[in-house]
Amino acid sequence: MTNATSRPDPREFRKRLIAREPLIGSFLKTPTSHATEILGSIGYDFVMLDEEHAPWTRQTLEVGLLGARAFGVAGLVRIARPDAASILSVLDDGGIGVMVPHVASAEKARNIASWARYKGGTRGSGVGRGGDYGGRSIQDHYARADSTTAVIAMIEDHEAIERIDEITAVEGIDAFFLGRGDLALSLSNASGTVPTVPEAVKIIAESVLRNGKALCAVTPDAASDDAKAMLDLGVTALMVSNDHSFLRSGALAQLNNFRELFSKA
């Protein structure tokens, strides 16, 4: 991780992810560019605009991605709908990559990889912000987009555990995210004997690393025991909390300071 003035170009994000460089990011849930700009300005490596669990639209995603480009941070989107159109719109609007929820089969992983790639894939041709508005030849655009687009699959279903090696071996998926929240729900709803959440996470992590892919996770605090545990598993792209939690914790700290100040008055 480097500071805001010296870190690599955001289009180097995929290369850095695959190389398993230590990367810090965060989920952003408020559909504006402001949090993207702030995190970019202080030196975060990437932001994940959370379309799945927040009210982002294509228009607000475009603004958020523009903010990411303006402040030199890699802008990715956790898409709400795992389909070709969703991936296409994010990438055409300048997204550095996508993260796709609930990848529980190799077939779904292969589809995702195909939808995100031109050569050898099925991504539709387009030259919006992602293609610098036609500022280079179409063939150069295809090659550059394919080499810089990061594709991350989320493992968060108990069904995925049974076929994890097949999923993590899929070519074109650059990294896998440990979706521990939904994984815990899925395991609790499964019938029969299932692993515990820590056991399942270990199985996933070992498979991801065995197949030469990068490992991602989210933690509430980079100074926590949980963050250390994620690094021990092999996580190199770590998302810390989200903009709502940053706002809440900062505001709560100041509220407590205010109360203490006036209690001594």
- Per the listing, tokens 């499964």 go with 190
Active-site residue list: 53
What letters, b where the CB count within 10 A reaches 16 and e where it falls short, cover 75-90?
Answer: bbbbbeebebebbbbb
Tell whether the torsion through CA atoms of 164, 168, 171 and 174 is positive or negative. positive
Half-sphere exposure of 102 (CA within 13 A, CB side): 9
CA–CA dist 117, 124 (Å, integer): 9
Check: CB of residue 41 under 8 Å from CB of residue 4: yes
CA–CA dist 214, 173 (Å, integer): 9
